[in-house]
């Protein structure tokens, strides 16, 4: 289920491949702000549980806060990402790349605050403690290549790189050499 290597983005930043589920949790980027950064995250809801719809429900403000005790700690948050790659490699896009998704929170990269303004957020279904799947890399790598061809991307970083001490994802199991070697 990986995306085709030549799959293009339209003028609004929607990928032609993958499934689209529109999140209300986004807004306009600041005028004249270039998309220069890709931020890799991991997420699973509840933590360590895969294959459910909770992440999609969270990103679309439809999560049943009473469905699991963990959700009480995140009750009412409004977050999103541009892309979500499931364990099987399937891709969901929630926000067009030209818009600002709410994925980074308080963050800084090379002295620039508010990374959401100039970044694209990619969530991988997973945790810090488990390796990501080959299917996820088979989707992530062509996606990163396409984003680099479309936008003036200067770097690909983890959430932990732009919010150190606050965030740890994508975690030590993420294969940075594999990503960098295949997207250079």
Beta bridge partners of 184: none
Classify residue 154: in a domain, yes or no: yes
pTM: 0.96
Classify residue 55: in a domain, yes or no: yes
Distance of alpha carbon 101 from alpha carbon 81, whole angstroms: 5
Task: Name the region of 54 (left: φ>0; alpha: ψ -120 to 50; beta: rest).
Answer: alpha
pLDDT in tens, 100-157: 999 999 999 999 999 999 999 999 999 999 999 999 999 999 999 999 999 999 999 9
Helix/strand/coil for 83:
strand
Q: How many domains does the chain have?
A: 1
Q: What is the DSSP string of 109-130?
A: ETTEE-GGGGEEEEEEE--TTS
Kindly tell me if the per-residue pLDDT of 6 is higher than 70: no
Classify residue 107: in a domain, yes or no: yes
CB 146 within 8 A of CB 7: yes
pLDDT in tens, 42-89: 999 999 999 899 999 999 999 999 999 999 999 999 999 999 999 999
Kindly tell me if the per-residue pLDDT of 1 is higher than 60: no
Closest of 30, 182, 23 to residue 103, by C-alpha:
23
Question: Active-site residue among 123, 125, 129, 181?
Answer: 123
The domain that contains 109 carries what CATH number?
3.40.80.10
Classify residue 25: in a domain, yes or no: yes
Domain span holding position 168: 19-183
Q: What are residue 97's phi and psi, to 5 degrees?
A: -60, -25
CB 57 within 8 A of CB 66: no
Sorted by sequence, the CB contacts under 8 Å of residue 162 that are 6+ apart come out as 37, 39, 104, 107, 108, 109, 115, 119
The residue whose two tokens read 């945790």 is 127
Q: How many CB atoms lie within 10 A of CB 131?
A: 13
Q: Are strands 37-43 and 119-125 parallel, antiparallel or unpaired?
A: parallel
Classify residue 14: in a domain, yes or no: no
Check residue 2 and give its pLDDT.
Answer: 61
Distance of alpha carbon 15 from alpha carbon 23, whole angstroms: 15
Classify residue 81: in a domain, yes or no: yes
Classify residue 4: in a domain, yes or no: no
Classify residue 32: in a domain, yes or no: yes
- Across 83-120, b (16+ Cβ under 10 Å) vs e yields bbbbbebbbbbbbbbbbbbbbbeebebeeeebbbbbbb
Distance of alpha carbon 82 from alpha carbon 99, whole angstroms: 9
The yes-or-no answer on residue 113 being catalytic is no
């Amino acid at each position: 289920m990986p995306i085709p290597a030549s799959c293009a983005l339209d003028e609004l930043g929607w990928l032609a491949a993958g499934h689209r589920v529109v999140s209300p949790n986004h807004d306009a980027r600041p005028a004249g702000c270039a998309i220069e950064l890709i931020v890799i995250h991991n997420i699973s809801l509840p933590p360590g549980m895969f294959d459910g719809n909770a992440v999609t429900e969270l990103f679309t403000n439809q999560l049943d806060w009473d469905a699991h005790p963990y959700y009480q700690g995140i009750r009412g948050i409004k977050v999103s990402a541009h892309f979500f790659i499931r364990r099987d490699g399937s891709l969901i896009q929630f926000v067009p790349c030209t818009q600002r998704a709410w994925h980074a929170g308080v963050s800084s990269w090379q002295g620039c605050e508010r990374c959401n303004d100039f970044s694209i957020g990619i969530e991988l279904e997973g945790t810090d403690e488990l390796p990501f799947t080959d299917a996820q890399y088979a989707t992530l790598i062509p996606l990163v290549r396409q984003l680099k061809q479309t936008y003036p991307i200067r770097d690909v970083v983890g959430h932990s790189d732009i919010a150190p001490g606050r965030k740890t994802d994508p975690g030590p199991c993420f294969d940075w050499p594999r990503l960098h070697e295949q997207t250079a």
